A and B are shown apart, each in its own frame.
Chain A
């Protein structure tokens, strides 16, 4: 060790046989063991615990590089292994030299040195040939440890590398990949399932195919039906076509005729138009209209002139007739004067009438005013009478009211007195009853008292006698007290229950109490009998006296009551007297009130009558006054005289006028003024008429002249207008020409309308095609008709319609069939669209079948492998187990110097041993710790032997394995190891580290020569 832990440049040479390396604690035994292990295997631990992290634990304390080398022999060649420790195995510098040949050896892995030379992994090394302190006990080690597995494999399969369980598990795992344990998963299961699904799908596909064929057949039959209907429809259409072609031919013919007619009309129209063409214009409606209007106006002017001539003639005639009828003439001045006189006369007559009326009215007014005054006087009188009656009535009402108040008061008193009377009666009755009760009780009390007095006296005497005899008065006193109490209580109860009168009983009770208490004194002085007797007698007398006094009081009280009763009776009498008096008084008052009431009623009636009269008079007066005021005519008697004078003056003037008018009437032979007036106005009217006729005649003559001028102008206009077409000389000539032209124009219009109509009635045929084209069409049609000849024979429009309908109906049916075919086909297509067919499925089936076959073969092969493995394992259990046991037993026997002859190890490494003298196995639990350690050491040595059986023996390193052993066992162990290391047939290098001197002392001093050495660290 160049630098390793505490060691520097330290070397230790081990011999080939048994080596005991001795060193005290802390001297470095464990460090040397760690060095050996780390030289071969390095160290890759990552523990943070320094004591467990070997690389850090043994890093030199002085900070030098951790480094060392080992020289060892293998396969009879010597090797030198050098290692400079870095931070990890990968940074360690490792060199290996073959010292025999001097060649450096290339290493695959720095860690593999141990594996390569020792044939063991690090873990296996540490647990098999590298036995640490306490390391013989492997029972507690983890099953997952490599060594445990290896031991397990070794014990069960004969090979450390081969584990039955692992192999069986792997086969099982592979099988479960194909078929899981619950047979629900796995490649094979999945494929089987796929197969089932495919077979199902195949069946479905077959059924689908059948169905498809069926649907196809149905579709075909539908198509056939459709075709049949189609043929039928075509045949019908052929016939229809033939008929329609014939019709079309007719149409074309008609169109050609229409075309000819149209052209003819057009030519005629042109001819007419030429005729209407004049010198300066083309005659049209407006030209003719104007011409006609001119003629018409000329004619009317001529007629007008003739009419005027006629009128003049008749007016002249009328004038001459008028002259013959001229009336008698009255001068306008005379007429006016006469009319004025008449008017004046009428006004005077009216005035006379008015004045007469006025006089009559004034007279009436004066009479009415006098009557009103009389009425006013009557009214004043009536008012006075009414006022008087009202005063009398008020007085009476006052009196009656006072009387009512008095009666009211008297009745209130009467009521009070009545109540008082009733109250007093009740009191009287109660007092009388009380007095009666008091008397009765008084009589009873007196009787009882007398009896008690008698008893008392007797008792007193007896008591006195007793007191005398026994000088014992105490009881008497108690008895009196008892009586007093009884009396008192009885009085209280009676007073409360029956009458307050019984309170008097208390007096008796109190009077008894006194002597009861008084007896004490008596008893005190009872020794003096005569004095006592005297006192007692006096006491009894007092008692009686008091009792009588109480009765007297009662009697007095009763008497007072009786006196009260008498007073009360007196009061009652007084009340009753007053009451009857009062009743009388009330009665009188009521009679008086009734009288007053009657007077009052009469006064009321009178007052009412006076008031009524007053009202009537007032009403009449008011009316009279109103009438008076309303009267238009008001005036005095003086006015009346004046009026009568004026009237006579008027009458004189009237007479004068009458005589003047009479003279005028006479002159004109008029009967009256009306005739006179008529005559005057007739003359006036005649004059006016004459003037009017003369004026009219003048006007007519004027008009006649004007008309003549206008007629001439008009004639000229006409001739000028006609000259635009052709010159004429007279209106008559013009009229004839106009007639001709009008006829021509009408003709032209007619033709034009005809042409328009023909134009309008042109059809598509002649509009779309020219005559030539139509003629070609006609020709083509003729050819086609020739082909279909006979098809339309006997056809008419009705049949055609029927054929068309049939064809249409067939067409609909065909469409329906088409739709049905399309729907059915689409439906079927959609149904199978995503379905694989039988061939596709068969292809998949074929592939799956192949895979399944292979999977099944795999599964069967795995199953077979598993079966054979199990058989082999059973064989191993039978054969190899004993081998380990045998070897262990052999070592154990040697280790224990034959104490135990048999040891058995089971698969769990539990140990059972058989002692020499007993023939049964004992489980390890029953053994001592030392024995168990021995047994395990035996097992480990046996296994190490078996592991290295076919190779070079490995060195065995042991660190104080006998620590737990007693001296005998330790010695036996040491001897065994010595023997084990030096066996002739198979010698092992054994290195035992110890700190126990006993082992060193047991070593033979000569042992170095015998392949054994003791080394001191």
Chain B
């Protein structure tokens, strides 16, 4: 929360409100399902520079739930003096870890919660290793923000290796940092998972987003994914080779999205990449189609990535400027197998042909 969301400025305000709504929905799940513990493994806030209204909204939502809440600040919301976590108004049932390692005994549940906070952006050593020997008869749950890395890899964002998880002795490890959801995994006796962000914030966070909800017992954790995202960010690819007119293009895109996303398909953010080939003498006014579709969709952006339907080999034989251009491009293509160069040559060829046709379209992304 507190992201600027400037990737789609015209929708940013609304989106920020929706994301707050998503958090409220999560707390509502807690209430409805009488959840004992709500574990938030960091980066709840984008930074410390957001409006304090957001903090208050979060506090208010948390104050209404019966669950005990544990928050382990991450690299985005690390615990410094300007942290929202040091603001007043946090409800009594909320525990915010304020040092690298802390544990909280919950006698009534026979549970010990282990957690730690990022006290600065970069934490390059393992916080898990600081854990004291666990009481084995208790259910031990860990809440940490960190980057799951390979055995020999490092990370400036609290590197966590599978072996460390296996050695921790925890029954469940709630992880945060990666925005994309990971599957629920188990190493040794420890089950762990990244739920990812509970709602998308841009086209780099596509797909259905949500939280993990479940039951943890000694040596076992049955958790399932629960979608919470208010809208989806989706990047789709549509082949426009057979499309003959503007109207046809409009219908084709609408049908495609409707079929793929079903009910509520209009509420998502779409980035549609138009691919395939089009005839040399045929062109589409993509912005017009986009405007038409925007009337019924929350957000759509069409990216024309079509290429001209040309027989390059035949074209190369022509005794004309275009023939000469294509011929030379093909010669260059044949002369290299460097993928980067090949991509560049492909693009250059397209741009050149577009220049002959009448318009050079810079690729949108």
Residues of chain A touching chain B, judged by Cβ–Cβ distance below 8 Å, are: 156-159, 161-162, 164, 166-168, 170-171, 173-174, 177-178, 187, 206, 209, 212-213, 215-216, 219, 825, 828-829, 832-840, 847, 850-851, 854, 857-858, 860-865, 868-869, 871-873, 875-876, 879-880, 883
Contacts and interface: CB of A to CB of B under 8 A. Distances in A.
Contact of B322 (A162, A836, A860): A162
B360 A170 contact: yes
Contacts of A860: 344
Smallest CB-CB A-B distances: 6 pairs: A861-B347, A157-B321, A158-B320, A872-B324, A864-B348, A174-B360
Nearest to B327: A872
Contact of A209 (B46, B121, B324): B121
B362 interface: yes
A50 to B, nearest CB: 37
B320 A159 contact: yes
A854 B47 contact: no
Contacts of A209: 80, 120-121
Interface in B342-357: 343-345, 347-349, 351-352, 354-356
A216 B351 CA distance: 56
A833 B84 CA distance: 10
Contacts of B47: 836-837, 839-840
B322 A834 contact: no
Contacts of B121: 206, 209, 837-839
Nearest to B2: A840
B101 interface: no
Interface string B58-99: 000000000000000001101011100000000000000000
A863 B47 CA distance: 41
Nearest to B6: A844
Main secondary structure on chain B at its contact with chain A? loop
Q: Which of A834, A857, A862, A869 has the most CB of B within 10 A?
A: A869
B41 to A, nearest CB: 15
B80 A167 contact: no
A171 B351 CA distance: 7
A861 B344 contact: yes
Contacts of B327: 872
A865 B356 CA distance: 11
Contacts of A834: 49
B82 A876 contact: no
Interface in B304-354: 318-325, 327-329, 332, 343-345, 347-349, 351-352, 354
Nearest to A841: B47
Contact of B82 (A173, A829, A864, A880): A829
Interface of B: 7, 43, 46-49, 75-76, 78, 80-82, 119-122, 204, 318-325, 327-329, 332, 343-345, 347-349, 351-352, 354-356, 358-360, 362-363, 365
A180 B267 CA distance: 39
Contacts of A857: 343-344, 347
B116 to A, nearest CB: 17
A969 to B, nearest CB: 34
A871 B81 contact: no
B325 A872 contact: yes
Nearest to A216: B81
Contacts of B78: 837
22 contacts: A157-B321, A158-B319, A162-B321, A168-B355, A171-B351, A171-B355, A171-B360, A174-B355, A206-B121, A216-B80, A828-B82, A835-B49, A838-B121, A839-B75, A839-B121, A862-B348, A862-B360, A865-B355, A868-B325, A869-B321, A871-B328, A880-B320
A166 B354 CA distance: 11
Contact of A865 (B48, B204, B348): B348
A868 B80 contact: no
Contact of B362 (A178, A216, A838, A879): A178
A209 B329 CA distance: 52
A156 B322 CA distance: 11
B96 to A, nearest CB: 16
Contacts of B362: 174, 177-178, 187, 858
Given A213-B80, A840-B46, A851-B365, A869 B325 contact: yes
A851 B7 CA distance: 12
Q: Which of A168, A212, A880 has the most CB of B within 10 A?
A: A212
A861 B81 contact: no
Q: Which of A166, A851, A862 has the most CB of B within 10 A?
A: A862
Contacts of A847: 7, 204
A825 B83 CA distance: 11
B80 A858 contact: no
Nearest to B326: A872
Nearest to B43: A839
B81 A828 contact: yes
Contacts of B43: 839
A159 B325 CA distance: 13
A174 B355 CA distance: 9
Contacts of A159: 320-322
Contacts of B365: 850-851, 854
Contact of A868 (B76, B348, B358): B348
Contacts of A216: 80-81
Given A828-B82, A868-B325, A868-B329, A861 B49 contact: no
Nearest to A863: B348
A868 B332 contact: yes
A857 B122 CA distance: 32
A569 B19 CA distance: 157
A833 B49 contact: yes
B189 to A, nearest CB: 32
A851 to B, nearest CB: 7
B349 A865 contact: yes
Q: Which of A156, A158, A850 has the most CB of B within 10 A?
A: A158
A213 B120 CA distance: 8
A837 B48 CA distance: 7
B48 A832 contact: yes
Contacts of B323: 158
A159 B3 CA distance: 54
